[in-house]
Amino acid sequence: MAMVETDLQGVVEDAAAHLYVWALKDIPQDLRDALAEALTRETSVPGRRVLETIVRNVAVADEEKNLVCQDTGIAVYTCRVGEGFPLHPAGIYEALKTGTARATLEHPLRSNAVHTITRENTGPNIGHRLPIVHWEFIADWDGLDVKCVPKGSGSENMSFLKMCVPADGVKGIKQFVLESIVGAGGKPCPPGIVGVGIGGSADYAMYLAKEAIARPIGTRNFDPIVARLEDELYQLLNETGIGPMGLGGDVTVLQCHIEHADTHMTLNPVAVNYQCWAARRASVHVSADGTVDFDREA
């Protein structure tokens, strides 16, 4: 009997093309719930008006099957690749790149990618090292998970890193997070998710901050010490009074998530990455046989 080979690279490409557009149009339920809950907490008139507009904006995007925001961002993917997945990461990267370009051309979406010095457009949301792909490799598994997080520039521009010293301790971490968000004010389209990365090294702390913003809203770090810091910062950030879109109010952030890594005894890096209210994310699980299972809430 003739064997029919699955075009796994084509499957991943199709999945990426769908993921990017889906993430941009249909926000996860946990974000919808967080925005609705924010509206019940907000007492300032301008703050309520902003939140009502955001909720209405989401409803219009649903009705018209359109984007929740015009800034289609840059596509950032996180891949969890099982050691037995029968497509090499080079093939996965190629599929993600082609899928991103196809989504941009077929929808069509705004093409945001430019050369970082000449500022000339480099293609349909692709270019040198674009899209951005992060990798994790998983033992004893033959599947592939891909999460797509389109990141708008308004919130990505509000990214901050400080190499605190160990003597600064947790106080230094809290102070830097608060200073960063107060300094950002309304620029990153609040209320959103404050992602904090602590430990590791300078580059890894920022990676962890990005990982933190891509978690379902309100999930807590597995380490109870870190989870307590998430609770504390969430409270403190909402006491700043910045409010929705920086117009003043009770709801400055929907959540604060922290990811951490152990670090060198002389290091205490802290990275802050802001995710605007349009916290778009979408995931797909691809099996070794080419079966795909899209997952809105991962």
Q: Closer to ligand SF4 at the Cβ: 12 or 242?
A: 242
DSSP 8-state secondary structure symbol assigned to residue 201: -
Q: At 161, is the secondary structure helix, strand, or coil?
A: strand
Please identify which residue in 35, 101, 276, 284 interacts with ligand SF4, judged by CB under 6 A.
276
Regarding 152 and contact with ligand SF4 (CB under 6 A), the answer is: yes
DSSP secondary structure letter of residue 121: B
Shortest approach of ligand SF4 to residue 72 CB, angstroms? 8
Q: Would strands 253-261 and 282-286 be described as parallel, antiparallel, or unpaired? A: unpaired
Count of residues touching ligand SF4 (by CB under 6 A): 12
Q: For residue 68, which amino acid is it? A: V
- Of 99, 127, 154, 190, the one binding ligand SF4 by CB under 6 A: 154
CB 285 within 8 A of CB 292: yes
* Residue 189 binds to ligand SF4 (criterion: CB under 6 A): yes
What residue type is 24 in one-letter code?
L
Min CB(292)–ligand SF4 separation in Å: 27
| 99 contributes a contact to ligand SF4 by CB under 6 A | no
Phi, psi of 195 (to 5 degrees): -100, 130
The reply to whether 184 sits near ligand SF4 by the rule CB under 6 A is no
DSSP annotation of 216 reads P
Residue 252 has φ and ψ, to the nearest 5°, of -95, -35
Q: Using the rule CB under 6 A, is 155 a contact of ligand SF4? A: yes
Cβ 260 to ligand SF4, closest distance in Å? 26
Q: Contact positions toward ligand SF4, by CB under 6 A?
A: 69, 71, 73, 152-155, 188-189, 276-278
